[in-house]
């Protein structure tokens, strides 16, 4: 059978799912033929080791008219037995067999202030209809958590049996940690990743300023690229914090994996204040690297982290500060969270995710 995987996002923050899926499918399936579609600029990003896998570059970016028409024609020419869209961005006029992974429905619920308001709201309006068309047109759907599975079913009204819930992985590379010299000997809490509005970073900054009243040497370390496409929200938040007169907020820009592993091992707490998540991979990876986690109680996060985190209402800055304070002042609690974090992280496997997804491929291929 010919299986096409749309991995145009493979070289992005959300691309780890597609990359890990393909990696383990190579080990699982030596029978079917796979065509992996990536953007032309990423043609050399992933090199298969299984001869049944080939990578092709395409020029159809998501959220574009070219995706809806040019990519649609391209897909029909491939004559796939099934296509797996690893993100809910694909031509609504493609009527072959396909599987779509909905990682979350964040697009429908948020507004990011760094975006043009009218363009974003128009995209959001169109996205609602596109998501409905995708959900109803798909042969099968995949959601990473029970929360997203139920949310997707409530939004689309497709049968719950059409949506498989498959947890993603949590494994971390665990490189040999390398000291990040600016933080050596410093006491800090940290967050890693993008800073769109729904990530709730400004309330984290405010909670940090409350904590500095009793912990004047405590730093808030924010890791993420300050330049490029995703850098604008970080720069905006940085300028906002400076205008407020906030002290002790450190932007590291991008950190290599070895420096990041060291930071996870030495942080007092990894804080995840997000308002909306579909799986919550960043804090799960922090757990796997040894960081005690203090998390928002929103959406899917308690489902994924279980008892390996302590939780706060992400809209309550004082409560956020109070929960972080518990970890700062209770060494036994911090060690308990670290131990539980390792165990919870080990529950989530990319290999298991790929195996469960492969079973869905086989089921769909058998359907007439």
Provide mean pLDDT across the span 308-329: 98
| CA-to-CA separations, 330 to 52, 210, 286, 292, 335, in angstroms, rounded | 53, 18, 19, 12, 9
Residues 6+ apart with CB under 8 A from 316: none
Closest to 6 in 3D by CA, of 95, 105, 90: 90
- Please, are residues 135 and 141 in contact by the beta-carbon 8 Å criterion? yes
- 276 closest CA partner among 295, 298, 297, 294: 298
| Helical ranges in the chain per DSSP H | 16-28, 65-66, 72-78, 106-109, 117-137, 146-156, 201-211, 232-244, 257-266, 281-288, 301-305, 317-329, 331-346, 350-366
**One fold for 2-169+349-366 and 181-346:** yes
The whole-number average pLDDT for the span 4-23 is: 93
DSSP H or E stretch at residue 5:
strand 2-6
Domain 2-169+349-366 in CATH: superfamily? Glycogen Phosphorylase B; (3.40.50.2000)
The DSSP call for residue 306 is G
CA atoms in the 13 A half-sphere facing the CB of 301: 26
Q: What is the pLDDT of residue 118?
A: 79
**pLDDT higher than 80, residue 140:** yes
Rounded Cα distance between 345 and 341, Å, is 6
Domain boundaries, the chain: 2-169+349-366, 181-346
- Hey, which residues does 189 pair with through a beta bridge? 220, 269
The model's pTM: 0.93
Tens digit of pLDDT for each residue in 233-289? 999 999 999 999 999 999 999 999 999 999 999 999 999 999 999 999 999 999 999
Q: What is the pLDDT of residues 201-210, one digit of tens each?
A: 999 999 999 9
**In CATH, what number does 181-346 get?**
3.40.50.2000
């Amino acid at each position: 059978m010919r299986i096409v995987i749309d991995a145009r996002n493979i070289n992005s923050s959300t691309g780890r799912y597609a990359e890990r899926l393909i990696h383990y499918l190579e080990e699982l399936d030596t029978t079917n033929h796979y065509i992996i579609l990536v953007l032309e600029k990423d043609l050399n990003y992933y090199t298969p080791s299984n001869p049944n896998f080939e990578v092709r570059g395409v020029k159809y970016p998501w959220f574009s008219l070219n995706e809806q028409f040019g990519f649609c024609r391209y897909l029909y020419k491939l004559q796939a037995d099934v296509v797996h869209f690893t993100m809910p961005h694909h031509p609504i006029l493609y009527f072959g067999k396909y599987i779509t992974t909905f990682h979350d429905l964040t697009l429908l619920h948020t507004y990011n202030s760094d975006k043009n308001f009218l363009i974003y709201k128009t995209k959001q309006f169109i996205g609602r209809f596109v998501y409905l068309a995708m959900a109803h047109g798909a042969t099968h759907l995949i959601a990473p958590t029970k929360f997203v599975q139920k949310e997707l079913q409530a939004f689309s009204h497709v049968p719950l049996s059409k949506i498989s819930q498959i947890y993603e992985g949590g494994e971390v590379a665990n490189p040999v940690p390398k000291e990040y010299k600016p933080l050596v000997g410093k006491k800090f809490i940290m967050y890693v990743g993008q800073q769109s509005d729904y990530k709730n970073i400004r309330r984290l900054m405010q909670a940090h300023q409350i904590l500095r009243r009793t912990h004047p040497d405590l730093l808030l370390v924010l890791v993420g690229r300050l330049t490029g496409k995703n850098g604008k929200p970080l720069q905006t938040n940085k300028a906002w914090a400076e205008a407020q007169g906030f002290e002790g907020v450190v932007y590291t820009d991008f950190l290599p994996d070895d420096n990041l592993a060291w930071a996870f091992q030495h942080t007092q707490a990894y804080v995840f204040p997000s308002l909306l998540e579909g799986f919550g991979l960043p804090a799960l990876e922090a757990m796997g690297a040894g960081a005690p986690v203090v998390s928002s109680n929103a959406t899917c996060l308690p489902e994924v982290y279980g008892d390996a985190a302590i939780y706060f209402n992400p809209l309550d800055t004082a409560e956020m500060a109070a929960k972080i304070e518990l970890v700062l002042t209770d060494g036994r609690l911090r060690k308990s969270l670290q131990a539980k974090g390792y165990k919870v992280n080990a529950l989530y496997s990319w290999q298991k995710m790929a195996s469960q997804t492969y079973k869905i491929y086989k089921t769909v291929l058998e359907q007439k």
